[in-house]
Amino acid sequence: MKTILYYLGLIHLFMVFTPFFKTKTYYEDDNKQNKKLDSGAIIISNHRSWLDAILIAIRFFFKRMHFLAANWYKNRLKFFGFAVRTAGGIFVDTNGQSFDFIEKSKRVINKNRPILIFPEGDFKKEYEPQKFSAGYIMLAAKTGAKIVPVVSDFNYGFFKRVHLMVGNHIDLSCYKEEELTKTKIKDINEEIRNKFLMLFYQLKKKKAKRLEKKYRYDFIAPQKGAVIRIFMGSYYHYGVYFNNDEVIQFGLSDNRTGGTPLVNSVSFIEFCGDKIPEVRVFKGKNKRYLRRIEDVEKYAKSCISQSNYCLARNNCIDFANRITLNI
């Protein structure tokens, strides 16, 4: 009966929300095996609003989805709690007094049904995915269910399209018979979150690439929040200009000293050296693809000291695009 109610509700939501969030799905690679969602998989995703669970349930329509939800919903509104439970919700005691959600989750996975988990916890309004709680790791290790990371860009709205990046499955079944220590769980969690971040960067890179024809680079004076670049002989190095004392870049300064590439702040003169910089220019209506200057500055400064440099997915131009473009 609950399954019938689930699909009746999902069909109604599909009809109501389809104009609001059309979706386009990318995959970490084009291997067909990785495009198939295992029945008893654990889906982990970033979290921005209550729409996120609906979006993923519709995207994987033919899989009877369950998801973890804070018991706040059950305690505040009885009818809403009933609706969440009917929709596949498994309530989690946020005060840590009860862990019965683990056994309930195991029973769901044993029925070959996927579970959606938002390891960030509550809604996050940050620019990038935040720290993960590690509960999903124990669940995956003890049940043998594969973890499927799904990154969303939350681009909800009429005439918009939500983009998803589905990562390759992560198998932790090798830990099924092993007693995981807190240190080991922390290490696994950090490794998976780093992988998730790389998928996030890969999704942003794909979206930025679609805008390449909408701008050019000119030898003009930079304005606050502009992307600038210098030619290094065989490649360009990019940064985000704020004033003559502050250009935020990924790498270069650290590379010169042989250190790990980090997001860092340098002066305009230090960034350019003996090179003449070019400035990225959008014209006309294409300027709508730019973030507000305040957001650019806040986002850029929040990334100071970040690492995770990757030539293919997260280099200096990828960083500059992510900071300055509405992607």
- The phi, psi pair for 7, rounded to 5°, reads -75, -30
Mean pLDDT value of segment 258-279: 91
Residues 242, 269: Cα–Cα separation, whole Å:
13
pLDDT digits (tens, 9 = 90+) for 18-77: 777 788 999 998 776 667 777 789 999 999 888 898 889 888 888 888 888 777 655 555
Q: Which among 21, 60, 53 has a CA at the least distance from the CA of 38?
A: 60
User: How high is the pLDDT of residue 115?
Assistant: 93
User: How high is the pLDDT of residue 325?
Assistant: 96
User: How high is the pLDDT of residue 101?
Assistant: 77
Residues 61, 64: Cα–Cα separation, whole Å:
7
Which percentage of the chain shows pLDDT scores above 70?
Answer: 90
User: How high is the pLDDT of residue 38?
Assistant: 75
pLDDT digits (tens, 9 = 90+) for 108-155: 888 889 999 999 987 777 889 999 988 899 889 888 899 999 999 999
Q: For residue 107, what are its two tokens?
A: 């029973």
Query: Residue holding tokens 């670049």?
Result: 229
Question: Alpha-carbon torsion 257, 262, 267, 273, what sign?
Answer: positive
User: How high is the pLDDT of residue 82?
Assistant: 65
The rounded mean pLDDT for the chain is 86
Q: Which among 193, 55, 61, 53 has a CA at the least distance from the CA of 123?
A: 53
User: How high is the pLDDT of residue 20?
Assistant: 73
User: How high is the pLDDT of residue 210?
Assistant: 92
Residues 177, 174: Cα–Cα separation, whole Å:
7
Q: For residue 19, what are its two tokens?
A: 């104009």
Amino acid at 115: I
**Strand pairing of 161-166 and 147-152?**
antiparallel
Q: Which among 57, 73, 46 has a CA at the least distance from the CA of 21?
A: 57
Query: Above 90 in pLDDT, residue 245?
Result: yes
Q: How far is CA 263 from the centre of its chain?
A: 19
Three-state secondary-structure class, residue 172: coil
Mean pLDDT lowest for which of 13-22, 90-99, 190-199, 311-320? 90-99
Quote the pTM value: 0.89
Mean pLDDT lowest for which of 26-30, 37-41, 79-83, 260-264? 79-83
**Strand pairing of 215-218 and 278-282?**
antiparallel
CA atoms within 13 A on the CB side of 257: 7
Three-state secondary-structure class, residue 79: helix
Q: Residue 327: CB partners within 8 Å, gap ≥ 6?
A: 153, 204, 207, 208, 211, 289, 321
Higher pLDDT, 282 or 89: 282
Highest mean pLDDT among 134-148, 154-168, 169-183, 185-199: 185-199
pLDDT digits (tens, 9 = 90+) for 215-231: 999 999 999 999 999 99
**Strand pairing of 161-166 and 22-27?**
parallel
The model's confidence at residue 253, banded by pLDDT at 50, 70 and 90, is low
User: How high is the pLDDT of residue 16?
Assistant: 75
Is residue 69 within 8 Å of residue 91, measured between CB atoms? yes
Mean pLDDT lowest for which of 92-96, 207-211, 241-245? 92-96
Q: Which structural domains are found in the chain, ordered by start?
A: 2-209 (no CATH), 212-324 (3.90.1720.10)
Q: Which among 129, 111, 112 has a CA at the least distance from the CA of 120?
A: 129
Give alpha helix (H) positions in the chain. Answer: 2-17, 32-35, 51-59, 72-76, 78-86, 100-110, 135-143, 182-209, 253-256, 268-272, 293-302, 316-324
Q: Residue 307: CB partners within 8 Å, gap ≥ 6?
A: 260, 261, 262, 263
